[in-house]
């Protein structure tokens, strides 16, 4: 379980950042000109891609937080294929300029984790939820609500990282995974959850409330 204070740059990116900086410095020293300029552009891209800022956690009771930065591309009633139930799916699409660190949408206990190899079609497409490489985490809150958070690889993404296993306890907004280079996260909610976002909305991991869970009876 990798729960650590949020650094300025995600540790998943350190090898890429060091490598890109070394190449940029070498090209600047050896050749200069356009090759060096392009190398510095790539290094800056790597730097911005792997940024990992800390986030303030809303204290609203029953809040389901966005697990990722990005744009809402789906709010629909579907079958949750992992927990086998009718659910509301809220999907967040991350482009290459978003923060790609993933946070837990709720406080709860991990019931099960599934990994599925798959395709790498554009994560903005609906079929990405069922056809692309993905990793699903089923969480149960203390009130008994089931939340499924699914990391989905995208057209460029080639690595899903998930650091939790069955039995782990997560707090709201706790960092639990990372996806490299453009992707999507699907969140499956109980049918009685009150969704607070719409298609097209821009959201931020942890700070944006996707929905409010109904209090248990």
- Tell me if residue 183 is catalytic: yes
Q: Is 131 left (phi over 0), alpha (psi -120 to 50) or beta?
A: alpha
Q: Mean pLDDT for the chain? A: 88
Distance between CA 217 and CA 215 in Å, rounded? 6
Do 40 and 132 fall into the same domain? no
Do 43 and 72 fall into the same domain? no
pLDDT digits (tens, 9 = 90+) for 129-179: 767 788 999 999 999 999 999 999 866 655 788 999 999 999 999 999 988
Tokens representing 200 are 């097209």
Do 45 and 110 fall into the same domain? no
**Of the listed 66, 166, 183, 198, which one is catalytic?**
183
Least Cα distance to 53 among 106, 101, 90 occurs for 101
Whichever domain contains 102, its CATH number is 2.70.70.10
Which range among 55-64, 76-85, 163-172 shows the weakest confidence by mean pLDDT?
55-64
Any domain includes 5: no
Say which residue, 123 or 207, is predicted with more confidence.
207
Do 179 and 130 fall into the same domain? yes
Any domain includes 57: no
Name the percent of the chain lying above pLDDT 90: 60
Residue 213: what are its φ and ψ, rounded to 5°? Answer: -80, 145
Q: Which residues contact 115 (CB under 8 A, 6 or more apart)?
A: 134, 135, 136, 160, 162
Do 71 and 173 fall into the same domain? yes
- This prediction has a pTM of 0.86
Do 128 and 33 fall into the same domain? no
pLDDT digits (tens, 9 = 90+) for 37-47: 999 999 998 88
Distance between CA 137 and CA 128 in Å, rounded? 17
Domain that holds residue 83: 63-212
Any domain includes 2: no
Distance between CA 46 and CA 54 in Å, rounded? 19
Do 140 and 197 fall into the same domain? yes
Do 73 and 161 fall into the same domain? yes
Overall domain count for the chain: 2
3 state SS of 150: strand
Has residue 96 got a pLDDT over 50? yes
Any domain includes 56: no
Do 18 and 80 fall into the same domain? no
Least Cα distance to 70 among 209, 201, 206, 176 occurs for 201
Any domain includes 55: no
Distance between CA 86 and CA 76 in Å, rounded? 11
């Amino acid at each position: 379980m990798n729960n650590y204070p949020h650094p300025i740059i995600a540790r998943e990116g350190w090898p890429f950042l060091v490598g890109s900086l070394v190449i940029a410095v070498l090209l600047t020293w050896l050749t200069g000109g356009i090759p060096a300029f392009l190398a510095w552009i790539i290094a800056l891209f790597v730097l911005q891609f792997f940024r990992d800022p800390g986030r303030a956690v809303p204290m609203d009771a029953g809040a389901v937080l966005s697990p990722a930065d990005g744009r809402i591309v789906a709010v629909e009633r579907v079958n949750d294929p992992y927990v086998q139930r009718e659910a509301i799916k809220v999907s967040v699409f991350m482009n290459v300029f978003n923060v790609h660190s993933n946070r837990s949408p709720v406080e709860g206990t991990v019931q099960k984790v599934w990994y599925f190899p798959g395709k790498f079609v554009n994560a903005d497409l609906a079929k990405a939820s069922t056809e692309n490489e993905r990793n699903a985490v089923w969480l149960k809150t203390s009130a008994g609500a089931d939340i499924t958070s699914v990391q989905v690889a995208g057209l460029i993404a080639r690595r899903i990282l998930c650091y939790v296993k069955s039995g782990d306890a997560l707090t709201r907004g706790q960092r639990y995974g990372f996806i490299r280079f453009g992707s999507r996260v699907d969140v499956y909610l109980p049918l009685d959850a009150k969704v607070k976002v719409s298609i097209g909305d821009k959201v931020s991991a942890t700070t944006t409330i996707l929905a409010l869970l109904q209090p248990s009876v």
